Amino acid sequence: MRKENKKMKRPRTILTIITLILLCTKLFGQDLGAQAYSDKYSKEIIHYLTDEKFQGRESGTKEMKGVIKYISKEFKKSGWEVTLQKVTAEGLTASIGEPKPGRKYPGEITNVIARLDGKESDKYVVIGAHFDHLGNKEGLGIHPGADDNASGIAVLLNLARMIKASGLTPDCNILLCAWDGEEKGLLGSKHFVSTWEGGEIIYYMNFDMVGRTKTPENPGITFAWNDNYPRLRKHCEAALKNVPTPFEVFYDQRWGDGKGGSDYAPFSKRNIPFVAWMEVEMHEDYHKPGDTPDKICWDKLQKGALLSYWVIHQWIFPKK
């Protein structure tokens, strides 16, 4: 009897310890998801994606296979279900129309889409960042694209870990989309939106160039949002309270008119409430071979990821 009693007690002790840990994190205002952001992981991702072996990540090149494999593997390691959305040049013509005059679609592009199911819902939150860049240009060399947009992919892969680590089941389904073909005319995101047959997309969030700053002592980020939905700005203001200072947000009001130079545009065109994070001002290495990892401000990248996590938190775990 004594022995049996001891065995019975053990699970209760473990439960008490877990409850205590949860209570402590609640008391001190910490969140397991927010704590899962890793500076080391961001550095690994950006250094890996900007490696010479990928030749500047141009859509349609053979080197892209390795990039796609890496991003899929990382999503899977964080416990997400991954689908590759492949589309050929002909498929693109069918879904989004002929290329612009003088342009050609790549032979094939691939969006890497990670999925996490929510509580029996047909609603979706979609979060995206493009992984392609300009490639190896004759006379100029390799364009590593550390800020454009390995930085966005670093945040996206961190969010995969953070959302899982929160330990909560989201209310709606979440798709984390690594887009291909952005530099060739937002091809991946346009194709995704025009062929989407799932439920309602209630929010879209985009990351494109979120790793650099001209004022590292007081870094900032631009928050552009569809102002047909004023609540989005309120979500950002509430989220900002959880981010350590110094950190500044520059509010850049947009309309749901489909205009914009990154993957939020196709979502904007459908008047989906969107948020797009981007640099405060364009840097001198924009679309140049000088866009290298050593110029990333890791502190800014972390604060941007935390801020976006707390916005997403309000979308997927709404207070009842």
Shortest separation between residue 219's beta carbon and Zn ion, angstroms = 20
Q: Mask: binding to Zn ion, 115-154, rule CB under 5 A, as x and -?
A: ---------------------------------x------
User: How many chain residues touch Zn ion (CB under 5 A)?
Assistant: 1
CB atoms within 10 A of CB 295: 15
**Contact positions with Zn ion (CB under 5 A) in 234-263:** none
* Least distance to Zn ion, CB of residue 292, Å: 15
As measured in angstroms, the least distance from the Cβ of 222 to Zn ion is 15
- Stated as kind and residue range, the H or E segment containing 154 is helix 151-165
- Sheet containing strand 81-88, edge to edge, reads 81-88, 108-116, 173-179, 123-130, 200-207, 274-278, 220-226, 248-254
What tokens appear for 261 in the block?
């130079």
**Distance (Å, whole) CA 259 – CA 94:** 22
Q: Which one, 74 or 148, has the nearer CB to Zn ion?
A: 148
Where in 44-73 is the site for Zn ion (CB under 5 A)? none
CA atoms within 13 A on the CB side of 82: 20
Footprint of Zn ion on 170-209 (CB under 5 A): none
User: Which of 31/148 has CB closer to Zn ion?
Assistant: 148
Distance CA 133, CA 61 (A): 11
Tokens of 82: 């991954």
Nearer to Zn ion, 45 or 278 (CB): 278
- The three-class DSSP label of residue 10 is helix
Closer to Zn ion by CB, 148 or 180: give it: 148
Nearest-angstrom CA–CA distance, 213 and 79 = 32
Smallest gap from Cβ 148 to Zn ion, in A, equals 4
Smallest separation, CB 77 to Zn ion (Å): 27
Question: Cα separation of 89 and 181, whole Å?
Answer: 11
Residue whose CB is nearest to Zn ion in the complex, by number: 148
Smallest separation (angstroms) from Zn ion to the CB of 284: 14
Angle ∠(308,199,167) on CA atoms, nearest 5: 45
CB 180 within 8 Å of CB 128: no
From the list 161, 275, 146, the residue with the least C-alpha distance to 207 is 275
Give the residue with the Cβ less far from Zn ion, 181 or 220: 181
Listed in sequence order, the residues at least 6 apart from 276 whose beta carbon sits closer than 8 Å to its beta carbon are 205, 206, 208, 223, 224, 225, 254, 260, 262, 264
- The least distance separating Zn ion from the CB of residue 291, rounded to whole angstroms, comes to 9
Please identify, using beta-carbon distances, which residue of 37 and 179 lies nearer to Zn ion.
179
Cβ contacts of 81 within 8 Å, gap of 6 or more = 114, 115, 116
Question: Which is closer to Zn ion, CB of 17 or CB of 282?
Answer: 282
The residue (of 148 and 171) whose beta carbon lies closer to Zn ion is 148
Q: Least distance from C-beta 75 to Zn ion, angstroms?
A: 22
Residues of this chain that bind Zn ion (CB under 5 A): 148
